[in-house]
Structure formats: structure tokens, C-alpha cells
Structure 1
């Protein structure tokens, strides 16, 4: 489809006014206090575009009577905010008795007047069965792009395995009892570095845009970037997309899991096994950005080049069958990391040659070329090294995002079955 020229971005003052709009728009009419319902695995019709997401995994034991104030950062702005709550790895039902969404002011404190109750089929409460996912009803009001959203959950009844995302690189908050409606930080004194239950947020943008999902490991998850500053490479990419007039892709979902592999489970389900839930089920997704493989190579025993290439082909075929574009990134150098060896380096080079030259992807981003030291191409450039010779620092994350050809992310709009949401 033809690209649509975007209007000039709003000023900081206008964005601030839009922040308050989340609290000033007409309210959602609450239904009965307790109406458990069966969740849907995919987005309801007209659910818009994903503005934030994080991959789910098993993250410990669930606890009754806990409140969670989870801080997440939006990519694309819009109205009709929905949250997706996940019990995908739970082995018992979990009840959410009260859920609110507001805008972070500082720490656990919210912008006055911004905190709003979310409902589920008109009800304040929802019970999600083991393995289930549920979307909230849309919330009136506008949520700006690049805003810090606080989603507050109260979980009176839970048990068994807790579903969440362990390494958030973001401070969130927890408390005892139900304080979800409070905008003050007074009762939200316990800090956590994970996200629990919340795995996606969607909005309806004011113009037709799509989203890109970054499917990756700890580099995509943001390890060695600065906590609370949103300096993961997908965050930098989202900022570039917001100001670009050359693409209709603006939503960015970060589906990285530290240690994750393409071929085998643990940590987390493999990319092959989580593709449907973490990528294809999200609304408005046009492009899959595949940047994974280093953990398969440095495992014991490590994957062969042929095995990893076969995994890429399967992922790509499944994404194409769903009408999505696939942009693949070369595997970055990691000499100096404790599991590096010449045999693994040979696999990395062979896989990268396939990524660059096979023609099986819709586009390629050469992260290897961006990050490597020209004097020793098996190593990350010192200026980009987060200190462990595998994970880039803030500067390296920025260089990765800057290397992405933004126009390449739009190619999904030319695939049959791809979605453009408004």
C-alpha cells in the first residue's frame, strides 16, 4: 500500500495535555464486581495495534493478595487502550479483582487524574484459567506515544506457577492488598525488576499504522542497557519510527528473553515454540524482526549451522504464511565471552553468510558489521561493549537501532493477509 505522510509530531505541551486526557475522557461503565469469564487467545476484532509487549515465561510461585504496579513504555500512541493479561504458564486459575491504568509521574506515583479502572466484559474482575490469556475492554481517552504507563493489578487469588517476564530492565512496584486505584506512591513501597501477568498493551492509532516485533534474546531484552531509561535497541528503534515520514510502521513490541534460543526451550520456550503467542497473536503486526541464534551456538552442545538455518527457515515460513514480513539480523560477535570458541565462531560466520546471501528474508540488517571491531571482527568494538563482550552498552544499542532501514519494516504491507489497523 502507499505510504502515508505523517503530520508533524505534537509539541511537549500538547503531549502533556494528551497525558491528562487518559484521565479526563469519559469513564468506562463498570459492570458487576465479580464476573469471571473465559479469556480469548487472540485479540478481539478492532483491537488496534500493539504499543508494548513482553514475552511471558515461568517466573516463580504465584502469591495471593498481592498488588502489582507495572511500569511500561508505549511506542505508538492512540485511543482505546487495552491490556492483555496472561496466565499462559500457570497451572491454576488466577483472579484479577481490580485493574487500573494511569500515567507514571515519578516512581510509583501517577499523574493526578490519570488512573482509570479497566473492565473485562463490563466487569471489574476476571478469572483467567491455567494457560489462558484475556484482553480488557478498551479504555476511553488518548495515550501518547513514548509515555510511561502504569498498569496496576490486584490478585486476590492465585496459586502454582506465576507467569511474567523476569528481566524487565525497568523498576515496577508491588504491595499487599488492593491499592490499584491510588495515584499516590505511599503504599507502593516494594520495588521489583520484573513484569508479572501483563504481557501486551494495545491502542487504536489515529492513522493506519502497523507494528514490528523484535524476536530475540538478552540483547533484545536490553541487558547491559541502563535500567529505567528505555535504552534497549527496540526502544531506540521506536523513537526513530515516531519521527519518520517514510514508513507506516510505528508500534514496536519487544519479545526478547534472556538466554532464549531458536531451537530448544529454556530459558523460556524456544522462538519456534513461542512464535504464535508472542508474535503472531499480537494485533497490527506487520513485520517480524528476527535477531536470535547466539545462544544456540554457544550452548553445550551447540547447534550446527545447518540446524540453525533450518530453524530460521521454519520461522520465516510460518511468519510468511501469516502474511508477515521477516527482517533478519546477523549474529553479533562475542569473542571474549566465556563460552566462545573457534568452532562456534565458524558456525556464526556460516549462519551470517546465509542470512546475508540466501534471499529468503524480506530484508537483512547487518548487526555483525555494525558492532564488530574492524581490527578483530570476532569481537565487539570496545566503544559498544557493555563489559562482558556479548551485550552492547547504551551506545551499542543505539548504533543497532540506527542501522535498521526503516523502509524495510514496511514490506509486510505488501504480503497477502498482512494487517493494517487504525
Structure 2
């Protein structure tokens, strides 16, 4: 039996699209109308399309988002963090609907659920680490010019040391820049209040964010960062650390950034972070 790739922590999202049996070859279609099939599709000889390359007349560059930002809420039995969206889809939507004349670049989600930066997890959830799957999931993308790295919080809440995380991020940076790809790092958002987020764990997160915000290089391909932590965090008044720990804002919408488990982001958080990106920075260096 073969299983399709899916993202069960994004529970209500559409995970796959199906064309009606016997409806023909749709490789030349420019609309999605053929992919409205319903019901259960199974069988030993099912034809499955897992990737789709689109060629544009202007050879438009491609942006990859490495990381999905979802933390495995099953580890504590807390299902409040199950989320129906990811960061990459909101950034892609903002790019597609912008009215500033910024091209609608190709956009690829290169995240895997519960994926670690430098530690392989075998055949289970998480799979190969980001640094070992880079060639397969990023460098193989046609006309890839920019990578937005939103990964590392999974490692943090799993108890990985910030030194190991920084080393893995540095390896990603060096490999991507070596291939002429610009890199935009995103700081790791707060986890205060989450069961796995001890003071030591949160300090690892803070140390990693210090490393991330130090990443800046105007030499092409450029290197920069975006401070997502500052956008969605507030001070935890109950914290006994000095300075007090930051937590996800749980104010009323649209500042309700905590999905409920104090580590996974809400839809408002994803859209707010996406809106903070400089869309012109997503394009290739001039």
C-alpha cells in the first residue's frame, strides 16, 4: 500500500485535488476546472501527480519557503494547536494579490511537518533533515532564486541546543549562497506557556534569534532577516525571568496570534507576519 504525502496537522485544508476518472490528459490545462473530482480514489494503479512545473514566457524566478511553522501538538496531547493554514500560503497569497506591480513569482512550499534542521528522523514524521534534503526539495526547483527560511522552532521545542541549530542554519546559508540563491531568515516566534518550552528551551530560542538577526550581507546573493518574533509577541506578566519571557499575543482579533497551545500560530499571526515582508526583497538581486 502506498500513502500520499499529506499534512495532518493542517486538518481541514485540501490535501489533494482529483480529476474525474477517464477525463483525459490535463497537462496543458491553464485552469483548475478539471480537478474537481470527489469521493475516494484508491487502487493499485492510480496515477498520481506530486509536482507541477510551470514555464512562463518571461522566465519568472521562483521563491521557496523552507519550513512550515507547525509544531507537533500531538506530543503533549494538546490538539488546540492544529491549524488550517501555514505561513507560506499567506505569503504567496499576498504576492499574488499585490497591487504594487511586484511580479507574481513562482512560489514553492518546501516544508515538512515536524522537520528538523540538522537531524534526520527516518521514515516517520519529520523525514530527512533540512540540510540533507536541500538538494531534493530546494536546489532542484526550476529557476530558484530566493529561499525564505522559517525553520528551527521544531528543533527548539524538541530540546535541541542552539549551537547545533545555528550550525545547521549556517550550513544552509552557505550552501544556498554558494548556489547563487538569496536567503531571508525569519526569527523564531515565542513558545512561552507551551508544555515543552522550559526556561532553557526558550533561552535556546532567544540565542538562535540573536544569530538570525545578525545575518546581513548586501553582497549578491544577498542575506537578510525578518523579525517575526517582534511582530507577534508580548511580554508575559507572569514570567519570573529577567527580562520577562515573551509569549504569543492573545489579544482580540486581529492580534490573536496564539492558536491555543502557546506555540502554534493563528491565521491572524500568519497573515500579520506575511504582511510585514518587503515583497520587493523576495525577487532576485538586481
TM-score (normalizing by structure 2)? 0.75
Is the 8 Å Cα contact of residues 71 and 151 (structure 1) preserved in structure 2? no
Gaps (5+ residues) in structure 2? 4-13, 73-80, 238-244, 251-255
The within-5 A match list for 1:178-257 is 198-219=49-70, 224-226=82-84, 231-244=85-98, 245-248=100-103, 250-257=105-112
For the pair 1:378 / 2:275, whether they are aligned, the reply is no
Is the 8 Å Cα contact of residues 68 and 87 (structure 2) preserved in structure 1? no
Q: Per-residue deviation at 1:141?
A: 3.9
Is the 8 Å Cα contact of residues 210 and 248 (structure 1) preserved in structure 2? no
For the pair 1:328 / 2:185, whether they are aligned, the reply is yes
Larger Rg: 1
Aligned mates of 1:283, 1:346 — CA distance in 2: 38
Matching residue of 1:150 = 35
Aligned mates of 2:94, 2:139 — CA distance in 1: 23
Is the 8 Å Cα contact of residues 249 and 409 (structure 1) preserved in structure 2? no
For the pair 1:283 / 2:139, whether they are aligned, the reply is no
Q: Structure 1, residues 371-416: CA drift from partner, whole Å, max 9, x if none? A: 2124565211111111111111222221121122111111x344xx
Structure having the larger proportion of residues in helix: 2
Is the 8 Å Cα contact of residues 64 and 138 (structure 2) preserved in structure 1? yes
Pick aligned residue for 2:229 from 363, 368, 388: 368
Q: Per-residue deviation at 1:249?
A: 5.1
Aligned mates of 1:172, 1:255 — CA distance in 2: 28
**What secondary structure sits across from 1:348 in the alignment?**
helix
- CA RMSD for the aligned pairs? 3.2
TM-score (normalizing by structure 1)? 0.52
Gaps (5+ residues) in structure 1? 1-60, 64-68, 73-100, 103-108, 119-138, 153-170, 181-196, 415-422
For the pair 1:294 / 2:153, whether they are aligned, the reply is yes
Q: Per-residue deviation at 1:341?
A: 0.6
The alpha-carbon distance between structure 1 residues 176 and 396, as it changes in their structure 2 partners (threshold 3 A), is: same
Is the 8 Å Cα contact of residues 210 and 251 (structure 1) preserved in structure 2? yes
Aligned mates of 1:198, 1:220 — CA distance in 2: 27
Aligned mates of 2:145, 2:66 — CA distance in 1: 13
Q: Per-residue deviation at 1:177?
A: 6.7
Aligned mates of 1:172, 1:293 — CA distance in 2: 37
